[in-house]
Amino acid sequence: MSKNERTRKTKYTGVYQNLNNRTFGYRVKLGTDRATGKSITEHRRGFRTASEAHEARTAVLKKKHDLGALTNAHMLYEQFMDKYYIPEYRNGVEPSTWKSREGVLLELKEVFGKKKPRDITTLDILDYKNKLLEKHSQNYARLKFGMFSRSLKHAKKHGLLKENLVEIVEGIPKKKPEVDFWTKEEFEKVIETFNIKDFYEHMSFTMIFMYYMTGLRVNELTALYWDDIDFINAQIKVYHNLDFTNSDVWTRKAKMKTEAGRRIISLDKDTISILREWKKHQEFIGKYDFVISYTGAPLGKSTINRIVRRHARLAHVKEIQPKGLRHSHASLLINELNANPLAVQKRLGHSDIQITLGTYSHLYPTIDREVADNLNGLIRIKTLDKSLMDWNGNQYISK
């Protein structure tokens, strides 16, 4: 490609448009040269339409299928999954992760189970990829496609195929999810819908207030014990998260999502006061460890979701997911308190400032305007009436 060639992506993977002459082209990876170890890439241009370039690229992928002799070459994909991949995967992840991924692995067995891994072609992979995108959100399709790719990478390690063709087809890009949240005004309308004289509503009110004012992850607050709250210093220790199956089957785990997730958060006076009142009310019913509980057992996400949606409807504000309360807290910090990204990162327990900026950059709509406003009058501007240089040649002459 010429250095001066300007291009833009099209809806087809690997297909681009040349903005200089309005023609289309494609790029496709064809594997690795066995002699040199270098990547083999084909690049063609000059197609009249994006569709033509896409068809040509697909034809190239169709021809690309040279796997050679392999060990375990006759093993079916389902046999490989049962014997190698699934047991190793299950032993290498958290129980909660396994629980959420098991269905995906079973689906992969159903789709590709009767094929040998070496017989899975690029067209099979393209077909599966397109069906995922038709059926699911882009990010969930990306998760499933990524798990399929990892299984083939494992199959390559065990000698069932020579090359992971998913890498040739290319993956599904991540789409930044849009999460609804409540503004300060909307939140104030929501908390007006609670009658805290009622025990269950008092718990629900405290829960939503805590989520909104702390930004805790859903399973961080549900894991919170009263012992984690320091009423004297107005702080909470976020040292646990909850793996919840039902009210009888749950695990309070000390392992956090990230190392930065293990943190201490300071509380405002209003939140401390609300917690004190709820503690008194709860102790009148029973002596419980969990802060957010009305039976002694922790709450599950489905219960929290029902509470949040119910009171959103009562307040006539938009319905959000429980995780939207974490985004609501970030919005409160940024838009109401003008908190800097480092403070937001620390409070939310992000492992990297880039996660904070990438997730919440859209909540900083005025930051560029504020920079420009702060530049006003910063530089003292003074110029000369007469040039300090002697001009000897062609130049503009002032009149």
> pTM for this one?
0.61
Question: Is 174 a domain residue?
Answer: no
Domain residues for the domain of 369 are: 341-375
Same domain, 211 and 305: yes
Residues 146 and 163: their CA atoms lie apart, in Å, by 16
Question: Is 205 a domain residue?
Answer: yes
- pLDDT at residue 71, rounded to an integer: 55
**Residue 279 pLDDT greater than 80, yes or no:** yes
Question: Is 392 a domain residue?
Answer: no
Residues 97 and 184: their CA atoms lie apart, in Å, by 34
Residues 276 and 209: their CA atoms lie apart, in Å, by 13
Same domain, 245 and 268: yes
Residue with tokens 């393209």, as numbered in its chain = 126
Helix (H/G/I), strand (E/B), else coil: 27: strand
Question: Is 385 a domain residue?
Answer: no
Structural domain count, the chain: 4
Same domain, 318 and 348: no
Helix-strand-coil percent breakdown of the chain, rounded to 5? 50, 10, 40
CB 43 within 8 A of CB 137: no
Question: Is 397 a domain residue?
Answer: no
Question: Is 389 a domain residue?
Answer: no
User: For 227-270, what is each residue's pLDDT tens digit?
Assistant: 999 999 999 999 998 888 787 888 888 877 677 788 999 999 99
Residues 103 and 88: their CA atoms lie apart, in Å, by 16
Given 274, 304, 333, the domain boundary residue is 333
Assign 34 a pLDDT band (cuts: 50, 70, 90). Answer: very low
Any idea how long the chain is? 399
Question: Is 305 a domain residue?
Answer: yes
CB 212 within 8 A of CB 177: no
- pLDDT at residue 114, rounded to an integer: 92
Same domain, 367 and 309: no
Looking at the DSSP bridge assignments, the partners of residue 45 are 25
Same domain, 92 and 39: no
**Residue 287 pLDDT greater than 70, yes or no:** yes
Between 366 and 74, residue with greater pLDDT:
74
Same domain, 96 and 115: yes
Question: Is 384 a domain residue?
Answer: no
Helix (H/G/I), strand (E/B), else coil: 179: coil
Region for 380 from its dihedrals, namely left if φ exceeds 0, alpha if ψ lies in -120 to 50, beta otherwise: beta
Helix (H/G/I), strand (E/B), else coil: 358: helix
Residues 74 and 194: their CA atoms lie apart, in Å, by 64
Same domain, 106 and 245: no
Same domain, 103 and 224: no
User: For 252-263, what is each residue's pLDDT tens digit?
Assistant: 888 776 777 889
Six token digits for residue 123 = 């067209």
Q: What is the bridge-based pairing of β-strands 249-253 and 241-246?
A: antiparallel
Same domain, 199 and 259: yes
Q: What is the CATH number of the domain that holds 193?
A: 1.10.443.10
Same domain, 221 and 94: no
Residue 69 CA, chain-centre distance (Å), reads 40
Gyration radius of the chain over CA positions:
29
Same domain, 283 and 354: no
Assign 334 a pLDDT band (cuts: 50, 70, 90). Answer: confident
Residues 259 and 97: their CA atoms lie apart, in Å, by 18
